[in-house]
Structure 1
Amino acid sequence: QNDQLRKQLSIAKESLKALTSSLAESNAAAEELRRKYSDLELRMEALGLASANKDRTKLEQRLLAAVSDLQLAQKERDQYRDQMLRLNEAVLCYLKTAQAGDAKARMDIEAQLRSTNTLITKSTSEPELPESSLMDGSVISVKEEWSFVVGNLGEKQGVKIGMPMRVMRDDRKIATLRVVDVRQKICGAVIQEMDSEKEKIKVGDRLQVDAHSDVSLR
């Protein structure tokens, strides 16, 4: 009887590990697709691509593909979560009704169940981005062909359309931007002036609102 119980616990434990890994991968894929969708949508609106041209058509196609992939990833994530919840319940019922068994195996699988429940709880919550201020933002995306930059400052920090910003690296200014679109936690800005032709804006560069800039929107 102990051998049978040990075998069943081992199978349940491996199933939990596989489902936990799959859920983690699905969560990561869903978050990446969500960022891509938000980024593409922001770029279209910020650059005013309202006319029916090839660039807009391509972007719309990419947006639709991103939305479709995101919906599939979220559906798959929900399925993994439901499967794990059912497996948790079944294993707990089995542990309660089993008359004998390996104490270490029981402790191991109960630990796995606790870890799984923690993962499930995290999967249902939106990730929190670190808070930034108007003088301590950062570049999170750069599109050189459009002279376009996305920063992690948005309405929540008080960013407004038309605001000038400076891009900083090692305490020196390398570029001046102008905000053309604002969302709750991010903003899109066009590059107005580069302080050096040799340098390029990179993801991770610091962003600061430049209250004294007189650069006009071109």
Structure 2
Amino acid sequence: MKTLTDSLAASNAEAELFRRKYSDLQLRMEALGLDGASKDKAKLEQRLLSAVSDLQLTQKERDEYRDQMLRLSEAMLHLLKTSTGGDAKARMELEAQLRSTNQLVAKAAEPVDAPGTLMDGNVISLKEDWSLVVGNLGEKQGVRIGMPLRVVRDNRVIATLRVVDVRRRICGAVVQEMGSEKEKIKVGDRLQADARQNVTLK
């Protein structure tokens, strides 16, 4: 009987220890924003996809910095090699590269303003193979899957899109109709929510 009592006491102590560890783990997961991960796997996957997308955009920007710095280094080396003769062309190239670097750094220093509404987005990337347009409108602005968008250039609608994927700050939309076969969608074109129904561009 004493052995059973001791075993029961030990089991209760272990159970209490595991309850505390479980509670501590839940608190840590909540602090990391992973609360209910086992209950809502889709939400966790969405956060992961959003993080991967943000990482890809950051890597692209980093590559632009690297390329510009390499060009600057090459121009400086060229100037150093030719500085004894006072090569004006090399000096001009160095100045041009320095200006480009300064512009890139100034652009990066500006705060990135996300569009405030569904009417002032921009095309930030294109996947022409899939007729996919990536815009800087996302959940933050109220974009939903299935939402119609229009691409605007010079106050003219040049294409209509349908949203197929939404992240926090970006969305992906497939091209539904082009206004003209000659006019292609470009990075920088304006994106707007399209509340019109059954409107054709032709």
Which category of TM-score, normalised to the shorter sequence, fits these structures? Answer: 0.3 to 0.5
TM-score, scaled relative to structure 2: 0.44
Pick 1 or 2: higher relative contact order, CA cutoff 8 A, min separation 6. Answer: 1
Greater Rg, structure 1 or structure 2?
2
TM-score, scaled relative to structure 1: 0.41
